[in-house]
Chain A
Amino acid sequence: MAEKDLLTGEHFIHGDAACAEGGIAAGCRFFAGYPITPATEVAERMAARLPQVGGIFIQMEDEIASMAAILGASWGGVKSMTSTSGPGFSLMMENVGLGMMTETPCVVVDIQRAGPSTGLPTLVGQADVMQARWGSHGDYGCIALAPSSPQECFDYTVLAFNYSEIYRQPVFVLADEVVGHTTEKVVIPRREDLRIVARAEPQAPAHDYLPFDSAGPLPAPMAIAGAGYRVHVTGLTHDERGYPVITDVVQERNVRHLVDKIRKNADKIIRAEQIHLDDAEVVVVAYGCTARVARQAVEDLRRRGHRAGLLRLITLWPFPSQIVRRLATTVKAFIVPEINYGQMAYEVERTAGGGVEIVLMPLMGGSIHTPEEIEEAVGEYL
């Protein structure tokens, strides 16, 4: 069985399949999901693969149930995952909140299509960026990774699982239809070259153990069901023992912990690729499939001797504010092409402050930018 769970070697697979393989490689052994274009292939791959490696695949009756099921499985001590797209992502939000409040590690893959509502089921969108950040009610920290290729679908699903274990919360892989349906070479590394964070077990004796300790920079290790800790897990505001306490005092500690464990560790979480930024006059900020087009545009401009650069966001959340703030003091403009009406551009503007021009290149969905369009927009500032 051991050799089947990690398909070390070169594969020619699409991004959806790579997300599934990333999950399995990271140790995911429970998948609950619901078919939805363009994420169905993640579930289909899991349906075929999980029973081969001793895992469980279940197609639930909807996405509400899927999200709840992966939380339950996680408390059962098994790394768990689901996949969906816009309409299902919306339905998951209530239990995403439960996962945040109960500090439950798991991974949600969202292969974005164009909305709102049913929108363009088969075509690309990137408009779930803010939903990933703010979709469930209440405050909590958010980690969302945006792959630009099938290889990164694999890599970042593994990373998402690692983050979910370290920070004990649901982590999003925010891919898009183009990336999910692109078929390319994916290299699955050897076991010794793969960094996998295992589920931490509490060491303290039961009477000393605080399952929701908020004193340190990281959450307490999680006591899974049957481990003898008799933990109470609730979506109500709770103290460090997990007991509901309906006061402003405990709410203050509880929610600040949920936000701060990400905020204060942001430097460790944030990933961004900085291409030709050292002397850049104009910087394109892009992610997902758009980053590939943007890279082409920037390389073309460089070949023609222009000082263009690319900031490729890998973690959309936490957002790399420091990099943007630093660049804002030297560049003339940020160009933000994205397949929505300005979700990340808004964040760039908010972070950069007023001194620099922000140019949004929005697409409502269904198509991607061309390198020429981006070059033209950059060109206005060169």
Chain B
Amino acid sequence: MKVRYRALHPFDKEAEERHIQEDHGLHPYDEYLKPGRIPHIWCPGCGLGIVVTAFIEAMKQKNVPVAQSAVVSGIGCTGRVAGYLDMDTYHTTHGRAIPFATGLALVRQDLIVTVFSGDGDLFAIGGNHLIHAARRNVNLKVICVNNFNYGMTGGQVAPTTPIDARTSTTPFGNAEPSFNLPHLAHAAGAVYVARWTTYHARQLVHSISQAFDKKGFTFVEVVAPCPTGFGRPNKLGSGLDEMRHYREVCEVRNGADPSEVEIRLREKIIVGTFVDVERPDFMEHYQSLVVARAQAKAKSKGKGKAA
């Protein structure tokens, strides 16, 4: 078989980097952002920038070393976060950020592995993985940006979409009740569970930094405006309007029973740190229950036998 190719354009690193702004490095957070990747793809009024800023601020406050940090994302607008952070970042497949991160975190216990992904990615296609990683208490810091819909694909219903809300695949209103994410994470075994909105920027930084201090599966839900996908069909106004809405309807209730923090369209949103407990993480159990016994067995077997 003969092959007639189109011309191939070899990679020209210099040309590609020419457009990196000369003033990169002037912004206090640039150290954490991959040069040349800004401007980002997100819409005006999107909540994602605030969440990224909070994450960076928490890293700074806790002196989390960039070299020992890894961020794993699934697919979606939130999934694109990984591509902007200047550390080892993995943009994986839709729903599989947690199992990918599980592999990474288990073989590299020296790393701080954060999973940064959307509500659809983590609770629809990836829901199974989330509950299993929480059950196992894998040492992962999960940040879930909940914008109540699939932003990236143009505003379809998600498992977080409140009942009766409009989306492009629920044009007559959503017939399904939504997941209460903190309740689910807690029930599955997360050792730290918090929820904030993008209006609560400082509390969010605090929660992410608390999560950095914990060993095991932590879960921070960030309620965020998606004016494009969810705001428009539900007439919630601009991103700023949604921030005003958060200011008006949110109630801080630290220690609230996670079963009582369900979110309904246009109703009160309870925010706070709901769960903060200790239990052995996966590796601790694995060491004591499996590795220790296996090695003891290997030793006793080895006695008196030629290898």
Q: Which residues of A contact B (CB under 8 A)?
A: 34-37, 40, 43-44, 47-48, 51, 57, 59, 61-63, 87, 117-118, 342, 345-346, 349, 357-363, 373, 377
Taken together as a complex, chains A and B put the C-alpha atoms of A292 and B151 apart, in Å, by 33
For B19, list chain A residues within 8 Å (CB).
none
Of chain A, the residue at the smallest CB distance from B170 is: A47
Interface hits, B1-30 → A, CB 8 Å:
1-6
Asked if residues A87 and B156 are in contact (CB atoms below 8 Å), the reply is no
Supply 4 further A-B pairs (C-beta < 8 A) apart from A37-B153, A43-B169, A360-B4.
A47-B169, A62-B125, A87-B94, A118-B93
A51 & B172 in contact (Cβ 8 Å cutoff) = yes
Within B61-118, which residues are at the interface with A (CB < 8 Å)?
Answer: 75, 91, 93-95
Residues from chain A with a CB closer than 8 A to the CB of B124 are 34, 61-62
- Per the bound structure, the CA–CA distance linking A44 and B154 in Å amounts to 10
Nearest CB to that of A361 among chain B residues? B4
A-B contact list, 20 entries, CB within 8 Å? A34-B125, A35-B154, A35-B156, A35-B169, A36-B153, A37-B153, A40-B154, A43-B156, A43-B169, A47-B171, A62-B124, A118-B75, A118-B91, A345-B1, A346-B1, A359-B1, A360-B1, A360-B3, A362-B3, A373-B6
Interface of A is mostly: mixed
A117 near B93 (CB under 8 angstroms)?
Answer: yes
Determine whether the beta carbon of A357 is less than 8 Å from that of B169: no
Q: A361 CA to B4 CA in the complex, in Å? A: 5
Partner of A342, one of B1, B94, B171: B1
**Chain A residue contacts of B150, Cβ below 8 A:** 35
Closest Cβ–Cβ distance, residue B19 to chain A (whole Å): 21
B4, B5, B94, B124 — most chain A CB neighbours (10 Å):
B4
Give CA–CA (A44, B172) in the complex, Å: 12
* Beta-carbon nearest neighbor of A348 in chain B: B1
Q: With CB as the reference atom, state the residue of chain B lying closest to A374.
A: B4
State in angstroms the CA–CA spacing of A63 and B75 once bound together. 15
- Decide: B156 and A359 in contact? CB cutoff 8 A: no
Determine if B159 is an interface residue (Cβ-Cβ < 8 Å).
yes
Closest Cβ neighbor of B125 among chain A residues: A62
Closest residue of B by beta carbon distance from A36: B153
Q: How far is the CA of A59 from the CA of B169 in the complex (A)?
A: 8
Q: Which residues of A contact B93 (CB under 8 A)?
A: 87, 117-118
Contact A40-B153, Cβ < 8 Å, known A34-B125, A47-B170, A51-B172: yes
Please give, as numbers and ranges, the residues of chain B lying within 8 Å of A346 by CB-CB distance: 1
Q: How far is the CA of A63 from the CA of B95 in the complex (A)?
A: 11
- A359 near B2 with CB under 8 A, answer yes
B127 within 8 A of A: yes
With A40-B156, A118-B93 already in contact, the answer to whether A342 and B3 are too (CB < 8 A) is yes
CB-CB under 8 A from B91, the residues of chain A are: 118
> Are A57 and B1 within 8 A (Cβ)?
no
Tell yes or no: B204 within 8 A of A by CB: no
Which B137-160 residues have C-beta < 8 A from chain A? 150, 153-154, 156-157, 159
Cβ of B168 within 8 Å of any chain A Cβ, yes or no, is: yes
A374 to chain B: closest CB distance in Å? 10
Q: Which residue of B lies closest to A364 (CB)?
A: B6
Q: How far is the CB of B2 from chain A (nearest CB, A)?
A: 5
In the assembled complex, the CB of A359 is this many whole angstroms from the nearest CB of chain B, namely 5
Bound-state Cα–Cα, A61 to B6, Å: 40
CB-CB under 8 A from A63, the residues of chain B are 125
* B153–A349 CB distance below 8 A: no
A47-B168, A342-B1, A357-B2 known; A59-B156 Cβ under 8 A: yes
Asked if A62 and B95 sit within 8 Å, CB to CB, the answer is yes
- Contact A59 B157, beta carbon cutoff 8 Å: yes
Assembly CA distance A362 to B91 (angstroms): 28
Bound CA span A349–B2, Å:
11
The 9 lowest CB-CB distance pairs between A and B, nearest first, are A62-B125, A35-B156, A35-B153, A47-B169, A61-B124, A358-B1, A359-B2, A360-B3, A361-B4
Q: What per-residue 1/0 map shows which CB atoms of B166-185 lie under 8 Å from chain A?
A: 00111110000000000000
Q: Which residues of B contact A43 (CB under 8 A)?
A: 156, 169
Task: Establish whether residues B75 and A44, one from each chain, have CB atoms under 8 Å apart when the complex forms.
Answer: no
Instruction: Verify B1–A362 contact, CB threshold 8 A.
Output: no
| Cβ of B122 to closest chain A Cβ, rounded Å | 11
How far apart are B195's CB and chain A's nearest CB, in angstroms? 22
